[in-house]
Amino acid sequence: MKVDLRINGANHSADIEPRKTLLDALRENFLLNGTHAGCEHGVCGACTVLVDGEPVRSCLMFAVQADGYEITTIEGLAPAPGELSVIQDAFCETHGLQCGYCTPGMILSAHALLQHTVTPTRDDIVEAISGNICRCTGYGQIIEAVEFAAARLRIANTPRPHHGGPHGRAEGKPIVEAK
């Protein structure tokens, strides 16, 4: 069936079998290979994408269900070809990965956290990435990466568009804390 999806800020239409997952559609119909299949039953988080800014397992969502939502994949985070977002760069700085397979999902979960939370605690970070299984790192350098990214984003004083959400700041509270 015909589906209209908005992915990484661009509109896409495709004729997609109703049973096809968003994960398979992203990879096969839209050639966005950064989203990875891990368990395909909603546990490992390798397939994480953002749906309206919130982390979602794309293996548990049909592509047709995504009609009308704003989908962000890992390909949507880099500001330009060859350039990295602050969070992506932070993962490079601390080596918050090894094989790179869980990394896109991990970074999207971290991205969602830092959109909501200016000064996350270690527990906030642990909670935010707890739905993303990494078999290589033991999470230590991932947590360091998110802490490092949070600090750099605070210094950069960049307004963040999202608000509310499960780990979010209270409505009306400033996104960037005044020093």
Partner 1 sequence: MSADPAAFRFVSTNRRVREDRRFVAGHGHFVADVALEGMLHVAILPSQHPAARIVSIDASAALAMPGVHYVLSGDELAAATDPLMNGLDTPKVQRHPLAVGQTRYAGEWVVAVVADSRALAEDATEKVRVTYEPLPFVMNAEEALRPDSPPVHPAHGSNVLLDRTFVWGEVDRHFDESPRHLSFRVTWGRNSTVPIETFGVAASWDPWRDMLDVWASIQMPKYPDQIARALRIPANGVRVHQDVDVGGSYGVKRGIKQTVLVAHLARRLGRPVRLIEDRLENMRGGDAHGPERIFDVDVAFNDDGIVKSMKIRALDNAGAYAGRAPFQLGKPIGAIVGPYKIESVQYRAQSVTSNKAVQEAVRGFGQAPTNYAIETAIDKVAAATGLARIEVRRRNFIRKDEFPYLIPSGSTYDSGDYHTVVDKVFAHIDFAAMEQERDRLRASGLLAGIGLAACLEPSGANSAFEPLLNEKNTTTTWMDSCRIVIDGLGFVTVTIHNTSSGQGHETLVATVIGEVLQIEPDLIRVIRPDSLACLPSNSPVGSRMAIMLGGAAFHAAQKLKAKLMRIGAHQFGLGEDKVGYAGGGVAVPNGDKQLGWAELVNIAHRNYHLLPEGMEPGLESTHVMQVPTGGSLPKDGRVQMYPCHSFEFHVVLMAIDPALGKPEIRRYVIGHDCGTVINPHIVKGMTLGGVAHGLGAALLEEFVYDDEGHLITQSFMDYLLPSSHEVPEVEIVHHCTPSPYTVFGQKGSGESGYLGAPAAISAAINDCVAPLGISFNKLPIRISAIGDAIADAQQGKPQEQAK
- Per CB under 8 A, residues contacting partner 1 are 17, 19-20, 27, 32-41, 43-44, 46, 73-75, 77-78, 84, 88-89, 91-95, 97-104, 107, 122, 125-127, 129-143
Strands 10-15 and 2-7: antiparallel
Of 95 and 173, CB closest to partner 1: 95
Distant-in-sequence, close-in-space partners of 34: CB < 8 Å, separation ≥ 6: 73, 74, 75, 104
Shortest distance, CB of residue 177 to partner 1, whole angstroms?
25
Nearest CB to partner 1, comparing residues 68 and 138: 138
* C-alpha–C-alpha distance, residues 65 and 101, integer Å: 25
At its nearest, how many Å lie between partner 1 and the CB of residue 154? 20
Closest to partner 1 by CB, 68 or 140: 140
**Contact yes or no for 146/120 (Cβ under 8 A):** yes
The DSSP call for residue 42 is: S
CB of 115 or CB of 141, closer to partner 1? 141
| Helix residue ranges per DSSP H, 68-139 | 86-94, 103-116, 122-128
Minimal distance, residue 71 CB to partner 1, in Å: 14
Identify whether the C-beta of residue 80 lies closer than 8 Å to the C-beta of residue 8. no
Three-class SS of residue 158?
coil
- Please, which residue, 120 or 159, has the CB nearer to partner 1? 120
Q: At its nearest, how many Å lie between partner 1 and the CB of residue 90?
A: 9
**Are 42 and 51 contacting, i.e. CB atoms less than 8 angstroms apart?**
no
How near is the Cβ of 120 to partner 1 at its closest, in Å? 13
